[in-house]
Structure formats: structure tokens, C-alpha cells
């Protein structure tokens, strides 16, 4: 949300803070990049619901994507019900619904197969346990491969980490089950913005598994490729994917999560209190642990998209995609630490060099609040759950969903 939009939001009928704002125009801008990549490469793109599943904006995403992929029974059902793969969709519009889980329980399989167009098993033992049921319903089956190399700067998000459970790596064992599968999924990138690194890693996969790939119909290369960065060589990526697809005679799938919604969401909060303890401190009416948990897990700060000093002017900090917390000088007293209101001592949105001091009542919009945030929100401390506000393509504002005490209570018993 830029400063002007924040001002407009304040003038519109909006719920009390905290609330997430999703900007459909920003989502569509990402969608157009994905669609271009698909058009140039022949790849198909599936939204990774684990990253973003706020289905109130799926109408604007559907025209550009080929479907969804999932990590659980609930996600595959959501994809089926909300993303154009249901009995109402005409066959030309019908989207694909891919099912994957690190481990399915036996009782989930029949329902998963009701929704799935393809089911991808994480291990050979899961494949052996459930392949007959998939075959009985003519659902194509895939297996996740682990190439044992990756592009991830975070160990916690590294699928090729030592002793990883994510996929099979032993070529002989994989070759032995080839007649049971028509495709594979390989996800080994995380926020990788280097085409060269991606390409080298794909070359490594080819050298390890090339003869296996040549016997398949489809290969999903997962998510984690940051091809929406303004300087990313999209054409080179498209060309690389096209050649890969032609070399092995496979349909390539991509599973963009973060790339689909990067820069499209903000979390709008209000300053409830200010204090001073060697540095300026502010406490907002949201919580990093409850409302932007991914940042806490990855030890990152929330970018500030805009600040509204209540009575005075709107102070833009930058746009959500670019705004970053200051690389704060630990000694600097004029930097402000923005805290969440939960009891966690380290409930910190970030430390920032701000144009002016924060006051009680100021509104702060944190950027990049769509991916891995809304799907992880929780009721820690009973902190108010942010409402979900959508800025539609025509500029109108919908308050899509508000949460109250009954939702909190119902989530616990």
C-alpha cells in the first residue's frame, strides 16, 4: 500500500486496525509476469496454496494460472473448490488441482483423490501404499525427488538439508518404481533470484536424473524462483525451461507461491503506546508472532510501506516491494523499534530510522504481508485477528472478512 492508497483507505469505511489489505492490481501485475513466462516457455503455473490461500482474490488470479498445488487434504480441497476445478467449470476453463503432502494418512487418500488431478507422493513407501487407489481412479501419480542440492539461504527452508525427508534421492530405487509414476516434482529453490544459480542447479538435476526424466510425461520444478524481480532475465528462464521441456519431452510445471503475491499485501496497524528505553519504542495493535510469523521464523524485519501520522501528513517510506527496515546502528537513539502487543519479549516488527517520531494513534502499514503471513496467522495472546480488506481492480474497497471473540473462542474448543 503506498501513502496515497493508505490515505484513501483511511477515508473509506474501513474496519478498526489491525487489518490486512490485499491489492488486486499488484497481484495481477505479478500474474502477468507469470503468464508471460508460461507463454514463452510452455510451462504451466500452479499457485502454491501453502504460501497464499486467501481465496477472496482468486477470481483475479485464475485467468493467468493453470491451477493450484497443495500440501494437505484441506489445501487440495480448497484449491478444488475455489480455483475453477469443479463441476461448474467448463472444460476449457478447468484448472488443475495437484495434491502433494509430506505424508498422507491412509484415511485421507479417498477424499484427496476426489479433488486431485494429479497426486504426488513424497516417498516410495507412500507411493507403494496408495498408488493402487490412485490408479483405480485414473489419477496420474508423481513422486517427489530430492536432488540433494538446492538454492536456499535458509537451512530451515532447505529441502536438501542434511537428512532431509523431502523426496527420494536414490536413483536405483526411483528407477525401480518408474512404471508407477508419470511425473516428478522437484522443489529445491527458496527466494532464488539468480537465473544462473537456477540454471546450474537444473543442469545438476539433469546430470543426475536425465534418463529418468526422459521416461516421464511431466516434471514440476516447484516454487522459490524469484522471477518477478524487475531485473530478472525472464526470457532466459523461459528459454531454459522450454529447452528442458523439449529435451525430455515433458510438460513443465512451476509452483509459484511468493512470486504470485509478492508486494501485494500490507498489514495496517495503529500505534497504541510509545516508550523510551535508550531507543524510541512503539507498540502497535498487532503482533509479529501472530500476524507475520514467517518474519519471526526467518529473523527478518517487516518493511514499512507507509506511515500515517494521525493528524498531520502521510509520510511515505517507499513502496512495499522496496521499503526495507533500516540497517539500524545499534547505538543510534533516534531509531525506533516497533513492537507487537503480544507478551513475547522479542515480538518485534523491526527497527527503523523514521522521518519523525511515532505518536499514539499513528497508523503503520507493513509491506509484504501476503505470502506466508495470512496462512500462518494465529490467535496467540488472544490478540485481535486482523480483518481482511481487498482493494479491487476498480479501486473499490471490500471488507472481506472480520473476526471477533467468537472466532477466537471457537478456535480453541
Ligand X SMILES: Cc1ncc(COP(=O)(O)O)c(C=O)c1O
Ligand Y SMILES: NCCCCNCC[C@H](N)C(=O)O
- Judged by the rule CB under 6 A, the positions of this chain that interact with ligand X are 48, 50-51, 187, 190, 222-224, 255-259
DSSP string, 270-302: EEEEEEEESEEEEEESS-HHHHSHHHHHTT-PP
Report what 112 binds from ligand Y, ligand X, none; CB cut-off 5-8 Å by kind. Answer: none
Report what 294 binds from ligand Y, ligand X, none; CB cut-off 5-8 Å by kind. Answer: ligand Y
Contact at 8 Å (CB) between 382 and 367?
no
CB of 259 to ligand X, least distance (A): 6
Q: Which residues 148-207 are close enough to bind ligand Y by CB under 6 A? A: 154, 157, 190-191
d(CA 7, CA 314): 7
Contact at 8 Å (CB) between 156 and 297?
yes
DSSP state of 139: -
Report what 259 binds from ligand X, ligand Y, none; CB cut-off 5-8 Å by kind. Answer: ligand X
DSSP state of 251: E
CB of 172 to ligand X, least distance (A): 24
DSSP string, 34-101: HHHHHHHH--EEEEETTT---GGGHHHHGGG--EEE-SSHHHHHHHHHHTT-STTS-TTTPPEEEEEE
In the complex with ligand Y, the residue whose CB is nearer, 226 or 309, is 226
Helix (H, G, I), strand (E, B) or coil at 342: coil
| Of 236, 251, 133, nearest in space to 184 by CA | 251
Helix (H, G, I), strand (E, B) or coil at 175: helix
Torsion angle defined by CA atoms of residues 124, 253, 237 and 149, in that order, rounded to the nearest 10 degrees = -10
Burial class (CB in 10 A: 0-12, 13-18, 19+), 374: buried
Report what 24 binds from ligand X, ligand Y, none; CB cut-off 5-8 Å by kind. Answer: none
Contact at 8 Å (CB) between 251 and 44?
yes
Contact at 8 Å (CB) between 151 and 198?
yes
CB of 122 to ligand X, least distance (A): 9
Report what 255 binds from ligand Y, ligand X, none; CB cut-off 5-8 Å by kind. Answer: ligand X
CB of 153 to ligand Y, least distance (A): 8
In the complex with ligand Y, the residue whose CB is nearer, 100 or 372, is 372
366 counts as binding ligand Y under rule CB under 6 A: no
In the complex with ligand X, the residue whose CB is nearer, 79 or 340, is 79
Q: Which of 35, 108, 178, 298 binds ligand Y (CB under 6 A)?
A: 298
For the chain, counts of helices (H) and of strands (E): 13, 18
Report what 142 binds from ligand X, ligand Y, none; CB cut-off 5-8 Å by kind. Answer: none
CB of 100 to ligand Y, least distance (A): 12
Q: Which of 224, 320, 340, 367 binds ligand Y (CB under 6 A)?
A: 224
CB of 404 to ligand X, least distance (A): 30
In the complex with ligand X, the residue whose CB is nearer, 2 or 69, is 69
Rounded alpha-carbon distances, angstroms, from residue 72 to 115, 116, 208: 12, 11, 29
CB of 6 to ligand X, least distance (A): 26
- Contact region with ligand Y (CB under 6 A), list: 8-16, 58-66, 294-302, 335-343: 294-302
d(CA 186, CA 169): 11
Contact at 8 Å (CB) between 79 and 85?
yes
Report what 369 binds from ligand Y, ligand X, none; CB cut-off 5-8 Å by kind. Answer: none
Report what 298 binds from ligand X, ligand Y, none; CB cut-off 5-8 Å by kind. Answer: ligand Y
Contact at 8 Å (CB) between 274 and 359?
yes
CB of 188 to ligand X, least distance (A): 9
CB of 1 to ligand Y, least distance (A): 19
- Contact region with ligand Y (CB under 6 A), list: 27-35, 193-201, 209-217, 293-301: 293-301
DSSP state of 257: S
Q: Under the rule (CB under 6 A), what is the footprint of ligand Y?
A: 154, 157, 190-191, 223-224, 257, 294, 298, 300, 372
Amino acid at each position: 500500500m503506498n501513502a496515497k492508497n493508505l490515505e484513501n483507505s483511511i477515508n473509506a469505511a474501513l474496519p478498526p486496525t489491525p487489518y490486512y489489505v490485499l491489492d488486486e492490481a499488484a497481484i495481477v501485475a505479478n500474474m502477468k509476469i507469470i503468464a508471460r513466462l508460461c507463454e514463452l516457455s510452455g510451462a504451466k503455473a500452479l499457485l502454491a496454496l501453502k504460501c497464499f490461500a486467501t481465496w477472496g482474490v482468486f477470481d483475479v488470479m485464475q485467468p493467468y494460472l493453470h491451477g493450484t498445488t497443495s500440501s494437505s487434504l484441506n489445501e487440495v480441497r480448497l484449491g478444488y473448490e475455489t480455483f475453477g476445478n469443479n463441476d461448474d467449470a467448463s472444460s476449457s476453463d478447468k484448472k488443475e488441482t495437484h495434491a502433494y503432502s509430506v505424508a498422507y494418512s491412509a484415511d485421507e487418500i479417498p477424499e484427496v483423490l476426489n479433488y486431485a488431478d494429479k497426486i504426488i507422493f513424497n516417498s516410495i513407501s507412500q507411493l507403494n501404499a496408495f498408488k493402487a487407489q490412485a490408479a483405480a481412479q485414473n489419477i496420474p501419480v508423481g513422486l517427489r525427488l530430492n536432488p540433494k542440492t538446492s538454492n536456499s539461504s535458509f537451512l530451515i527452508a532447505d529441502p536438501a538439508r542434511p537428512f532431509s525427508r523431502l523426496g527420494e534421492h536414490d536413483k536405483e530405487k526411483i528407477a525401480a518404481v518408474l512404471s508407477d509414476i508419470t511425473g516428478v516434482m522437484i522443489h529445491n529453490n527458496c527466494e532464488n533470484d539468480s537465473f544462473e544459480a537456477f540454471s546450474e542447479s537444473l543442469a545438476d538435476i539433469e546430470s543426475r536424473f536425465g534418463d529418468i526424466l526422459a521416461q516421464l510425461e511431466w516434471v514440476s520444478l516447484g516454487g522459490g524462483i524469484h522471477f518477478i524481480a524487475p531485473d530478472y532475465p525472464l526470457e532466459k528462464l523461459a528459454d531454459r525451461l522450454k529447452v528442458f521441456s523439449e529435451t525430455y519431452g515433458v510438460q513443465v510445471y512451476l509452483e509459484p507461491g511468493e512470486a504470485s503475491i509478492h508486494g501485494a499485501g500490507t498489514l495496517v496497524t495503529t500505534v497504541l503506546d510509545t516508550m523510551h528505553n535508550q531507543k524510541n519504542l512503539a507498540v502497535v495493535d498487532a503482533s509479529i508472532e501472530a500476524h507475520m510469523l514467517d518474519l519471526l521464523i526467518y529473523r527478518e524485519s517487516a518493511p514499512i510501506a507507509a506511515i500515517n501520522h494521525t493528524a498531520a501528513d502521510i509520510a511515505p517510506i517507499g513502496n512495499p516491494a522496496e521499503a526495507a527496515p533500516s540497517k539500524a546502528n545499534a547505538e543510534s537513539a533516534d531509531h525506533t523499534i516497533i513492537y507487537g502487543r503480544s507478551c513475547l519479549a522479542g515480538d518485534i516488527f523491526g527497527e527503523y530510522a523514521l522521518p519523525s517520531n511515532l505518536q499514539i494513534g499513528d497508523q503503520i502499514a507493513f509491506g509484504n504481508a501476503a505470502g506466508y503471513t495470512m496462512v500462518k496467522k494465529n490467535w496467540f495472546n488472544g490478540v485481535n485477528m486482523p480483518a481482511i480488506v481487498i482493494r479491487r481492480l476498480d479501486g473499490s474497497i471490500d471488507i472481506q472478512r472480520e473476526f471477533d471473540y467468537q472466532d477466537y473462542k471457537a478456535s480453541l474448543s
